[in-house]
Amino acid sequence: MLKIGVPSKGRLMEKTFDWFGSRGITMRQTGNDREYSGAVEGIDGIELVLLSAGEIPRELSAGRIHLGVTGSDLVRDKLADWPAQVTELSPLGFGHADLIIAVPVTWIDVDTLDDLDAAAAAFRAAHGHRLRIATKYHRLVRDFLTRHGVADYQLVDSQGATEGTVKNLTAEAIADITSTGETLRANHLKVLSDALIHQSQAMLYLARSADWSQQTRDTLAALTTRLGLPAPTP
């Protein structure tokens, strides 16, 4: 069986089901709506695995699922050298969000990464510690800031309510996903003009290290034909 991992709840699951459904492949939850089991109809040989979106990158990396749907931000942040581990088969056109850096609106002297870097140097000299940036996207943010030569900062982990960390004095700036910017504005933060770290959206991925038998390869070929995608080579 070819295993496909799909987010187990909420809008991401519904939109994924819609995306496949509009291409003639029906995915549905079986049992009651709290039970994490599902079925695929309209094509043979595929098993639906409902998983937390955050765990799908790890399952792809381990090859325990052949295909998976999750946000491109999660794959790029959680997997080292991600192109070596997974292949992007198709963007799904939903779940759009930008990973950005935001600072307090009253920082009238800061608009770009260049300003952030200079402000970090002055902050460290004045306060005795590096300027803290709260985020859960450690790899993406660190790689981005290194590439742009920003120094004198440190990342602090924040797994939720990241916009509140500045007010709570546990960070001076944040790096987080935003779609409309409303939560940022409500927390008195503004976005840097040149710090778009990643434009994320839901994506269908192929796991390179999954067990690609002749049977699963055939199923994959049938599936991509149905989806109107170019034939991938696992």
Partner 1 sequence: MTNKAAIRQEAETLFAAFRHAGAQPVEADILQPSETLLDLYGEDIRARAYVTADPLRGEMMLRPDFTLPVVQAHMAHGADPARYCYMGEVFRKQDTPGPRASEYLQVGFELFDRAAPEQADAQVFALFSRLLAPLSLRAATGDIGILMAAVRGLSTSDRRKAALLRHIWRPNRFRALLDRFSGRAPLPAARAALLEHLQQDTPEALITAAGTHVGLRSPADIAARARALIDDAATAPIAAPEAALLYDLLSLQAPARAALGHLRGITPMLPAIAPAVNRFATRLDALDALGIDTATLPFEASHGRTSLEYYDGFVFSFHAADPALPPVASGGRYDALTAVLGQGRSIPAVGGVIRPGLVARLKGVI
Q: How far is the CB of 75 from partner 1 (least distance, A)?
A: 14
Closer residue to partner 1 (CB): 148 or 217: 148
Closer residue to partner 1 (CB): 59 or 172: 172
Closer residue to partner 1 (CB): 15 or 138: 138
Closer residue to partner 1 (CB): 33 or 81: 81
Closer residue to partner 1 (CB): 92 or 166: 166
Beta-carbon count within 10 A of 13 CB: 18
Beta-carbon count within 10 A of 107 CB: 17
Q: How far is the CB of 100 from partner 1 (least distance, A)?
A: 15
Locus of tokens 């440190």: 154
Beta bridge partners of 196: 100
Q: Whose CA is closest to 73, among 220, 181, 203, 217? A: 203
List residues binding partner 1 (CB under 8 A). Answer: 80-81, 84, 104-109, 111-112, 114-115, 117-119, 121-123, 126-127, 130-131, 138-139, 142-143, 145-146, 148-149, 151-155, 166-167, 169, 172, 187-189, 193-194
Q: How far is the CB of 60 from partner 1 (least distance, A)?
A: 17
How many helices (H) and strands (E) are present in the chain, helices listed first? Answer: 8, 12
Q: How far is the CB of 124 from partner 1 (least distance, A)?
A: 10
Q: How far is the CB of 152 from partner 1 (least distance, A)?
A: 7
Q: Which sign, positive or negative, has the C-alpha torsion 211, 216, 218, 223?
A: negative
Beta-carbon count within 10 A of 109 CB: 10
Query: From residue 115, how far is each of 22, 146, 185 by CA, in Å?
Result: 47, 15, 20
